[in-house]
Structure 1
């Protein structure tokens, strides 16, 4: 009787060993694919207006969409030039500049006012006289219908250059506005426009 193993048994053992190795390799590959799929990938971070940069970082990028540039000065943490989205308000510009300082007077600016491209926004300190702004703009940011020029009126929503001139023509012909509702007498201005302007203007 021979002590040599049966060739058939050897072949079966080899096949089982190779099969086990393939199973291990395939399982490892599957795990690697799964881990790669659930691992977060790094990407570009979109810097928006409320993520203010330090002065050394330059402009704050508003991302996609129309951009307005505002120079924020006075009692803010990081004065500088900021790029914000069209339609942003004074509160957004102040947030971009790092917020108000402890000495700031929040009542010195109209936080709800819509920003204009190229404007300079100065936040005063408590007890400080607000810096002069556009013609006909009160300290709280509202537009004075009886003092504003055409350029200032043109910054209001729903008011373009032609409508701004009509407002000036009306007050020159009829005297000063006594209330915001007097705007209804100006040709082309309806009740919806008056309601949109009511919190932004004063007679």
Structure 2
């Protein structure tokens, strides 16, 4: 009434002004309440209980186990072979593809001959036990003179296997071992190894004249060796 009388306001205008003042007071109170500071809760620490627990199998009362599952046994390793159940053998001598061949574990001598392309025509394989099981790292000499490769040809699992050739005669350049080549005049360990390396790279000797291409063999040494060797 005092404001109405003092300012000369009409009742309707005075009521509108009162509503505006009340609304402003309510709005100011809401802003003050929303802007008040609030406490922040620290995050909970991660405990081991939150990790996924792996259920353990029930203990076998008869076995007296502790309840933990036993690891399943893996596949047994290949006997005498490399990883994956394979073996590596060296097939040399009178075969079409001499060299290193990888075969399945449990392969036999006949499998090694097949991997090497088979024996060359005219090679006698009667003294070769083609049914013998091979071992990893074995050498098979095909068409070598008697005694080359040790006792492996009898099927006893030796270091080498030999298909024997003629009992007498010149030394075979394509089948003789390094030790047998050293029995030739003027041939030592180094020269014998050069001969072996040459026949490995070229698949054997096709003629005695190829000795000229071996490192360390000149005309004089070739003349000494020519009557004592054969391809």
TM class, shorter-chain normalised? 0.3 to 0.5
Larger helix percent:
1
TM-score, length-normalised on structure 1? Answer: 0.33
